[in-house]
Structure 1
Amino acid sequence: MSGSNMGDWFGGAGGSSRGSGQGWPIAGLWEAMEQLRGQFEQKGGTRMGRGDVRTAVLALLAEKPMHGYQIIQQIEERSGGSWKPSPGSVYPTLQLLADEGLIQAEESNGRKTYSLTAEGREVAGAAPEKSAPWEGSGTRDSGRTGALPKAGIDLAQAVAAVGRSGSPEQVKEAVAVLEDARRRIFSILAQD
């Protein structure tokens, strides 16, 4: 979105910016958001290697017992949002580790909490020099990861809200803020 066509995006070219999106190309904005998300994901996908879920589970359970949902949350949190394994990869891994005798499950209040067995502690501690998967380069944690696309998408959602229900004055003010933000962001790239 260059500054020259910002008015078109916000209904500034003769369209109304209030109400049910008249003059406001909501579909175009959502399409642009999806393109933005796609550009970030093309930089290097969020998939991790086959053994990374296993390594991550062992590393987390070495710290304390957890249930499956906690494991998923911790991986997402520690990777800065760039990696969130699906339950379809975590729960089979937990079952495999239990079958191997490396973890055990204890059920409480309808929820299984997993912890390392003695053998599991040996395996988890066998390679202390190996970093956890979320600490490696595979997680794309280089400024192009979770925080930046999330901030862009959050901004786009706020802009869409102003476009849907803001007054013409509010839309004009939002355009000014966005133009200033764009200049400031480009100035970051200009720094040494």
Structure 2
Amino acid sequence: MHHDMRERLRQTIDFFKQKGATSRENALSLDELGLPNVFEYFMDSPMGEHLPFQEVDGKYYLDEKRVDEYKEAPFPIPPMSRWARQTARVPKGYLRYRVLLLLKEKPMAGSEIMSRIEEETGGRYSPSPGSIYPLLKKLKESGLAEELPTIDGMKRYELTDMGHAFLEEQSGQFEKMKQRLSSGPLSVPPFLDLPDEIDYLRDSARRLFHALLAVTMELTDHPESEVAKKLESLMTEAAEEVERLLAELKS
């Protein structure tokens, strides 16, 4: 499967070149590129930050400077492996958004931010030090946050006036991001706070998520396949059965 996914991404790189979408000025929409919506799904995931594509105002282009870097990268890409183990969809830009909100509450250190996000997502998303600390540095350099004097060995950051203004200006965009965290074409219920006796449901949900992701990717290349109709019937039956079980629990 890893080979198939790498080959698919290589084909997408060639496709962008053929379309001439190789610079910010020549960015194209999904419709103009003729790409399926699943491409946007991947770009919105943490994996998207490590692919050689860039998004600008809802359009996409190939960043040729990152192509060689991508070709030499191990596969599956580390962030992709981590993301595939999570049942939550984490949109691109979510981390910056969440860090800014946390700093708005109170000054925090990188380790405190990582622990807080992992706790809030029930362990489904745990940002790495390699993500948090470079981000804090960028927020500081951009004037959105400032570093406080070290106390008890902890280097904490707090939001600046510019950071508060930025959050206010971007509130609409961030609200859309919050909605996309809990919805989307392939999002999966988080199954948080399950008793130990039924924690196995988490693994079943993850398996279902991976299967749906894989079959959806294949169907983008074979939209005329009878598999799509069979899949629709199967998912409808499954949804009806789950709804029946829900009614049984509530009765």
TM-score of the pair, normalised by structure 1: 0.50
Bigger relative contact order, structure 1 or 2 (CA pairs below 8 A, ≥6 apart):
1
Q: Which structure's CA Rg is the greater one?
A: 1
